[in-house]
Amino acid sequence: MKVNEIKKVAVVGAGTMGNQIAMQIANSGFAVACYSRKETTIRAAGKFADGWYKKAVEKGKMAEDAAAEAQKRLVFTNDLKAAVTEADIVVEAVADIVEIKRNILKEIDAYTPDHTIYASNSSYIVSSKFADAVARPEKVLNVHFFNPALIMKLVEVVSGPHVSDETVETIFEFSKAIDKTPILVKKEIYGFVVNRVFSAITKEACYLLDQGVASIEDIDLAVKNGLGHPMGPLQLLDLTGIDLEYDVLMEKYRMTGDVSDKPSPAIVERYAKGNYGKKTKKGFYDYE
């Protein structure tokens, strides 16, 4: 399948990532349906999109007619069948838990045509863990966007032993068509490229905090000013979501059984209190 043959895209999952991925696709000229089972999530996604397009026009970043056309191409729905029927590409943006991914892909596969590509926005879990949930595993791969998806250019396109060359090529070109900069991860590996590096840094940052070696602020200052990072690792965890980090690490622990893969006390404490970062106004930092 060539990029110019793609007529409809579906995004399954309308949270922060799924919603922004869908908007980026619509902004790039493709018809896209963004799905969530929860009506409250659909309403929140629609409200965010309306506000984003309004601000984009007001700030002169987008012409009024271009914003209106993009919104016409973007549909939010809690009807899975309507969202994925006739979709050429389905972007899966649900929780990074293998069984959840397997279940939703199996459900989707009942409605899609034979040529549909399933692109999982998993942050860590390789697609071979759930590709056999569909009839055509060669059309399942990881396509990892970064938060915020409307701004971050990078996309990791991850091949695997089950993925066809045609699937990889189509998604690589599609990523360019939606104004992203794709890199090819040639082999499946947990966490891909960016998150393996990120996890190593955040794990050490949390260890230093747990051991009382330095404060939150000083750990972040050290990384920003000593390593030249634009944002400290603990500040970045607040942005991406401490709940996401907790779920990812717990899922890894369930897969490996290695206690060293469990979340650090610093993560567990904040997760237990519901302090997930910027979205809850409190995490490692206070955003009230």
Residue linked to tokens 């007529």: 7
pTM above 0.75, yes or no: yes
Task: Give the model's pLDDT for residue 66.
Answer: 97
Residue type at position 157: V
- 179: DSSP letter: T
- Mean pLDDT on 95-114: 95
Task: Give the model's pLDDT for residue 213.
Answer: 98
140-145/74-77 β-pairing: unpaired
All structural domains of the chain, each given as residue ranges with its CATH number in brackets, are: 3-185 (3.40.50.720), 195-280 (1.10.1040.10)
C-alpha to C-alpha distance for 199 and 245, rounded to whole angstroms: 9
Task: Give the model's pLDDT for residue 12.
Answer: 98
% the chain with pLDDT above 70 = 100
Residues forming a β-bridge with 90:
10, 118
Task: Give the model's pLDDT for residue 114.
Answer: 96
Task: Give the model's pLDDT for residue 240.
Answer: 87
What tens digit of pLDDT does each residue of 154-187 get?
999 999 999 999 999 999 999 999 999 999 999 9
What tens digit of pLDDT does each residue of 34-58 get?
999 999 999 999 999 999 999 999 9
- Mean pLDDT on 137-154: 96
What tens digit of pLDDT does each residue of 228-284 get?
999 999 999 999 899 989 998 998 899 899 999 999 999 999 999 999 999 999 999
C-alpha to C-alpha distance for 220 and 206, rounded to whole angstroms: 11
Q: Residue 101 pLDDT more than 90?
A: yes
Tell me which residues are annotated as active site: 123, 144, 156, 195
Average pLDDT, the chain: 96
What tens digit of pLDDT does each residue of 81-95 get?
999 999 999 999 999
Task: Give the model's pLDDT for residue 8.
Answer: 98
Task: Give the model's pLDDT for residue 225.
Answer: 97
Q: Which whole-number Å values give the CA distances from 178 to 135, 165, 231, in the listed order?
A: 27, 20, 26
What tens digit of pLDDT does each residue of 204-236 get?
999 999 999 999 999 999 999 999 999 999 999
Task: Give the model's pLDDT for residue 255.
Answer: 86
What tens digit of pLDDT does each residue of 58-80 get?
999 999 999 999 999 999 999 99
Neighbours of 155 (CB within 10 A): 23
C-alpha to C-alpha distance for 89 and 10, rounded to whole angstroms: 6
Task: Give the model's pLDDT for residue 202.
Answer: 95
